[in-house]
Amino acid sequence: MERYRFILAEEGHFSVVPMCRILGVSRSGYYGWRSRGESGGAQL
């Protein structure tokens, strides 16, 4: 997901909670994605 990748890239500069709120994704969804990584199809 592009939004999750953006949050990951900017995590050092901005807080995750406001970025999730602004981008319309759940915090738990982001952290779940981060722990699982991208699926093979999403990496293409």
**What are the extents of the domains in the chain?**
2-36
Average pLDDT value over all residues in the chain? 90
CA distance 41 to 44: 6
Mean pLDDT, each 10-residue run in order, the chain (44 residues):
94 97 97 84 58
Percent of the chain beyond pLDDT 90? 80
Among 7, 30, 31, which Cα is nearest to 19's? Answer: 7
The pLDDT tens digits of the residues spanning 32-43 come to: 999 997 765 665
